[in-house]
Amino acid sequence: MERVRVRICGEDYTLRSNEDELYLQNLAHYCERKIEDLQSANATAAINERVRTHLVALNIADDYFKASAKAARMSTEQEKYINEIGRMQQENMLLRERFHELQAEHARLQAEHDAFITEFDNEKQKENANVLTLHKTEQRKAR
């Protein structure tokens, strides 16, 4: 444990803690701001030191409870986001699988199309050859 001197509202305090000095200075500064906030309210000018200390403690407890509630809400939101990310990753995986299936189907259809075009072209060539042969035969008969 280290000893750290802090100043709160003009009074020096020596704290013993395992926390680092900057952290303890920040705590002291926070407490000092809370005390100054309470003292700046004219309604509390006549309040004795003990009551003022209790009010400052309540203000700090209020800050703590609000921060804890906010942290809990954020944790719940984070959990929802993590679940949503998991759902989206699963959906992404399914969409990738479907994409690959569609790519395979496209390749199959493209091959069928190419085969059909080749067959069509072959038939057209045969037809043209038959027409040419017929034409030559008619020319020979005409001579």
pLDDT of residue 114: 97
Residue 78 to residues 24, 55, 69, 91: CA-CA distances in angstroms?
Answer: 30, 34, 14, 20
Note down pLDDT in tens along the chain; length 143 residues. Answer: 899 999 998 899 999 999 999 999 999 999 999 988 887 775 555 677 788 888 899 999 999 999 999 999 999 999 999 999 999 999 999 999 999 999 999 999 999 999 999 999 898 888 877 777 767 777 777 66
- Domain ranges across the chain: 1-46, 66-143
pLDDT of residue 36: 86
Q: Given the structure tokens 């045969």, which residue do they identify?
A: 126
Separation of alpha carbons 75 and 86, rounded Å = 16
pLDDT of residue 134: 67
Give the phi and the psi of residue 35 in degrees, each rounded to 5.
-65, -45
